[in-house]
Structure 1
Amino acid sequence: MNELFTSLLHSVGLAWWVEVKTETPDCTYYFGPFAEAKAAEDSKAGYVADLEQEGAQGITVSVKRCKPAKLTVSNDLGEQRSQGIVRAFSS
């Protein structure tokens, strides 16, 4: 029943999401949806710990009501990192 309620909230843009932004890599991640802000707040630490373990740096976290179109948004589009070198793709 809770999943149905959460899906309804999400469909109308009223579900809660954990938004995690990282500087390295330059990405925004969305985790959710949650029916209540407290549930999202309680989950923040686990998401941050996972990203830190993967080497993410410059992490900021917020809990908000939204309806993300994508769960991961990379702001490093058009670049490939290889051995510390950034290579931009050309068209």
Structure 2
Amino acid sequence: MTALLIRPLRAIANGLGVAWWARVETRSPDVTYWFGPFLRRSGLEKALAGFLADLKEEAPGSMDHAILRTRRGEPLTIEAEPG
């Protein structure tokens, strides 16, 4: 598919809540990152490896991720409120 078609399809899929997203949570710092939207889970999984590698370079204390089919908007990076 061409890039001209993919962007609108991703936006539609996201609006309908059927787009694939990854939620990545780190500790130290406490941040939640949203990575997506993707039309196919396989596309997300392929791209996610590079995203996770980039985050690991920032040396968080720990990092977990989940793959979800959902609707998501801004913000895509959420820092925990200081307690």
Q: What TM-score results when the alignment is normalised by the length of structure 1?
A: 0.76
Give the one of 35, 39, 53 matched to 1:49.
53
CA-to-aligned-CA distance 1:5-54 (integer Å, 9 cap, x gap): 11100112111111111111111100111011111111221111111112
The alignment yields a C-alpha RMSD, in angstroms, of 1.5
1:31 aligns to 2:35 (yes or no) = yes
1:13 aligns to 2:17 (yes or no) = yes
Q: What TM-score results when the alignment is normalised by the length of structure 2?
A: 0.82
Q: Paired residue for 2:71?
A: 67
Whether the 8 Å CA contact 1:20–1:61 is kept in 2: the answer is: yes
- Name the CA distance, whole Å, in 2 between partners of 1:57 and 1:42: 24
Give the number of the structure whose residues are more often helix, by fraction.
Answer: 2
Whether the 8 Å CA contact 1:15–1:65 is kept in 2: the answer is: yes
Q: Paired residue for 1:78?
A: 82
Percentage of identical aligned residues = 31
- Name the CA distance, whole Å, in 1 between partners of 2:72 and 2:61: 22
- Name the CA distance, whole Å, in 2 between partners of 1:53 and 1:37: 24
Where in structure 1 are there 5+ consecutive unaligned residues? 80-91
- Equivalent pairs counted in the alignment come to 78
